[in-house]
Amino acid sequence: MSTFGTLFRVTTYGESHCASVGAIIDGCPPGLELSPADIQVQLTRRRPGQSNLTTPRNEKDLVQLQSGLEHGVTLGTPIGLLVKNEDQRPHDYTETDLYPRPSHADYTYLEKYGVKASSGGGRSSARETIGRVAAGAIAEKYLKLVYGIEIVAFVSSVGKVHLPSSHAPPSLVPSDDNEDNDDVHDALSPEFRTLLSTITREEVDKYMTRCPHPETSEKMTKRIIRAKEAQDSIGGTVTCVIRNVPSGLGEPVFDKFEATLAHAMLSIPATKAFEIGSGFKGTEVPGSKHNDPFVRREDGRLGTTTNWSGGVQGGITNGEDIYFRIGFKSPATISQPQDTAQYNGTPGSLAAKGRHDPCVVPRAVPIVEAMAAIVVMDQLLIQNSRKSAASLLPPITTLPPTMILPKSN
Ligand SMILES: Cc1cc2nc3c(=O)[nH]c(=O)nc-3n(C[C@H](O)[C@H](O)[C@H](O)COP(=O)(O)O)c2cc1C
């Protein structure tokens, strides 16, 4: 469906070449100061035509707020917003009238609905993510203001070019061949944890690739240009950190925090993989090294000395940094001829014309941040509503001490 969230509810609409794309955001708290500029900044980071590493489709993606606020303050009513599709080129992809693009959504949409948009990717196009990015920017404004929550995503790999082990998430750190060697502790390096706790969007945006490591970014640029020149494409991964999230978010058992996060991330077009914390690497680390020991923090609460868990245990946030990585495939639309079949089954060759991203990860960064913000916002509203309902009850004095959190001394 086109709606995500329970209390902070985002519905997006629009296809790649229709008049506009946008969203209705229901459940935004009233009284939040909000301007189009708060939203535009992330839409501009997402927009196409930013560099020679992205599609040349040229859109300014200027947001128009339609409802839900007056005098720059939210009313608590649904916020409607839209962005006009200006650089529309219906029938840009004429070959695709005959051929479903291999690994794109043309064939499956037609099989499912029996009818599909006449040009571009229709609803499956990344234009749809404009509504998400706008909604995420609204959520972020609240999260930052009220909780100091910060969300920063960056590109961690393009093809086989990875961040160096010292700065990479655990699963990007190669393992040695010795299956008797349990010493994989370095995979969660202090440098990576420092990167997670300090990285900013300004730093990420210094690089066209959005990989905040100069040498790696340069190699990534070359890799993307090589794909582009070969009329081909290449995939990559985006790593994201969410800082200052309070403990207690997530709705076990089916809506565990990481399950909802994975749902949100895997709904982004071109995603193929999601992992949180140690991810697949965690399977190689013995419990004695993978466990995150507890320690008392300055405020008296418990924290952990390591963070293989990625800030989530039992599906509930524990107050540590939440970090996760998403895998994006190589975009399907390539101009290089490919042997395939037409809709009617006739074999042939497709060389897709039109404008394509040779690699989506630089543009996916703000989309990942937006979906992360929407998840945190929704889970916060749910947990706050539970806490507020419980706070109205008379205090219970009869429970055995093992059932409640002891006061720290
Ligand atoms: C920011 C972004 C830009 C994209 N640009 C393209 C593109 O230019 N060409 C293309 O074939 N796919 C592109 N995609 C991916 C397609 O939308 C997606 O692969 C397609 O809808 C099929 O869906 P699936 O990959 O999720 O199965 C892009 C995805 C994102 C997130």
Phi, psi of 296 (to 5 degrees): -80, 130
Active site annotation includes 104: yes
Lowest average pLDDT, out of 186-195, 214-223, 314-323, 370-379, goes to 186-195
- Is the pLDDT higher at 25 or at 179? 25
Per the annotation, the verdict on 356 as an active-site residue is no
Inside any domain, residue 178: no
Specify if 111 maps to a domain: yes
Domain-located, residue 85: yes
Reference 152, options 370, 353, 332; nearest CA is 370
- Greater pLDDT, 42 or 407: 42
Q: Whose CA is nearest to atom 19 of ligand 1?
A: 270
Please tell me what DSSP assigns to residue 33: B
Q: Identify whether 285 is part of a domain.
A: yes
Does residue 403 sit within a domain?
Answer: no
The span from the CA of 209 to the CA of 157, in Å, is 10
Q: CA–CA separation, 277 vs 309, rounded Å?
A: 5
Q: Is residue 398 a part of any domain in this protein? A: no
Is residue 50 one of the residues assigned to a domain? yes
Work out the pLDDT band at 272, boundaries 50, 70, 90. Answer: very high
Supply the residue whose CA is at minimum distance from atom 13 of ligand 1.
Answer: 331
User: pLDDT value at position 197?
Assistant: 96
- Starting at the edge strand found earlier in the chain, the sheet holding 20-26 runs 3-4, 9-13, 20-26, 79-84, 63-67
43-47, 225-229, 338-342, 399-403: which range is least confident on average? Answer: 399-403
Is the pLDDT at 222 greater than 70, yes or no?
yes
Pocket test for ligand 1, best of 104, 110, 123, 233 (most atoms within 8 A of CB): 104
Q: What's the 3-state SS for 239-265?
A: EEEEECCCCCCCECCCECHHHHHHHHH
Separation of CA 238 and ligand 1 centre (Å): 15
pLDDT score of 186? 77
Quote the CA–CA distance of 296 and 163 in Å, as a whole number.
Answer: 32
Would the pTM of this model clear 0.95, i.e. be above it? yes
Confidence of residue 45 (pLDDT cuts 50, 70, 90): very high
Residue 316: pLDDT above 80? Answer: yes
CATH number, domain with residue 300? 3.60.150.10
Confidence of residue 92 (pLDDT cuts 50, 70, 90): low
| pLDDT for position 15 | 92
For ligand 1, is residue 133 a contact (CB within 6 Å)? no
Q: Is 332 close to ligand 1, i.e. is its CB under 6 Å away?
A: yes
Residues 6 or more apart whose Cβ sits within 8 Å of residue 337: 349, 350, 351
Domain that holds residue 252: 3-171+183-391
| Ligand 1 center from residue 221 Cα (angstroms) | 19
Q: What was the pLDDT predicted at 260?
A: 98
Question: What's the pLDDT score for residue 355?
Answer: 76
> What domain count does the chain have?
1
Whether the predicted pLDDT of 174 surpasses 90: no
Phi and psi angles of residue 168, each rounded to the nearest 5 degrees, phi first: -100, 150
Spatial CB neighbours of 20, under 8 Å, sequence gap ≥ 6: 14, 82, 83, 84, 85
Mean pLDDT of 188-196: 93
Q: For residue 401, is it within any domain?
A: no
The pLDDT score that the predictor gives to residue 356 is: 87
In the block, tokens 């001490």 appear at 401
Q: Is 17 a catalytic residue?
A: yes
